[in-house]
Homo-oligomer: A and B are copies of this chain.
């Protein structure tokens, strides 16, 4: 089989989907999914805690199975697909990366907030030294204009990233916004450009096509939408769409449909749909971790949690600034109080 493809896919169900199963993946599940994806000729399969290497914790959710065991299992059943790992500097460490590489992971995806690419330097460089293919992953990309994204992406390119991704972590981008960002990166960078969508606004597929039209050649998908929030671009559907467009992925469509139906759907605790919570997160453009805090603050101050989240999005509050949630709730309560 030829390796020639127009678009190279990374399947993220075994990493982003970890959120959807509350990080309870078993070795058996990861083995069966990875083995089947390998047979369908998916080029890259990402395996890590939902928040990347080292994410298993009280704060981010404890994994049922040590992710290194899951990575090892995935490596053991793949001879075509390469195993990728996600790493968020600050959560995962260089040591975690070395262990993953030692177990056979071939791609390191180093993720930072869209304005903080500088913290990825050491990790990208180490991954290169370890002989890994490297990806810079710019999260919450809706929060930065194209010019800022270019600046940050260039940092990652300079550190040695082979690919830079525009990551729509909150599922908040619209197609024209994706097109503008990807086109700017395509024009200013020489490395591959990738796109990672979330489906909170039902635009994962539409945005992915916009990204491809603007020059992205690396695309993430989650089979059966098994990703955080409302899931990602549904991989087997993307393969079908790209076939209709005459674009090659090298991935076997019927096998992907069967994996989705027979192996992945039974793993999902409940089918992925866009519900009030996931829609609110996409509409507000905020981190999913804010939801719980906003719901608590809404009760305490008797305001609508959606108003809190929308206001947080407007103020561009990011992870680590959770204290602001109480402030916003208090302000909203004051504003609506009778004079």
Contact = CB atoms under 8 A, between A and B. Distances in A.
A interface secondary structure, majority: helix
A131 interface: no
Nearest to A237: B202
Interface string A218-253: 000000110000000110111011011100000001
Nearest to A282: B240
Contacts of A224: 273
Interface string A167-192: 00000101100000000000000000
B240 A279 contact: yes
A272 B275 contact: no
A280 interface: yes
Interface string A280-317: 10110000000000000000000010100000000000
Nearest to A203: B205
Q: For the side of the interface on A, what is the size category?
A: 35 or more
A319 interface: no
B272 A240 contact: no
Interface stretch (A96-104, A143-151, A257-265): A257-265
26 contacts: A172-B244, A174-B245, A175-B206, A201-B205, A201-B240, A201-B244, A202-B204, A202-B205, A202-B233, A203-B206, A203-B209, A203-B241, A206-B207, A206-B210, A224-B273, A225-B274, A240-B282, A243-B283, A254-B304, A254-B306, A257-B306, A258-B276, A261-B275, A265-B275, A271-B271, A272-B273
Given A201-B205, A236-B279, A237-B279, 17 more contacts: A175-B175, A202-B205, A202-B237, A202-B241, A203-B205, A205-B206, A206-B207, A206-B209, A224-B273, A225-B273, A240-B283, A253-B283, A254-B306, A257-B280, A257-B306, A260-B276, A273-B273
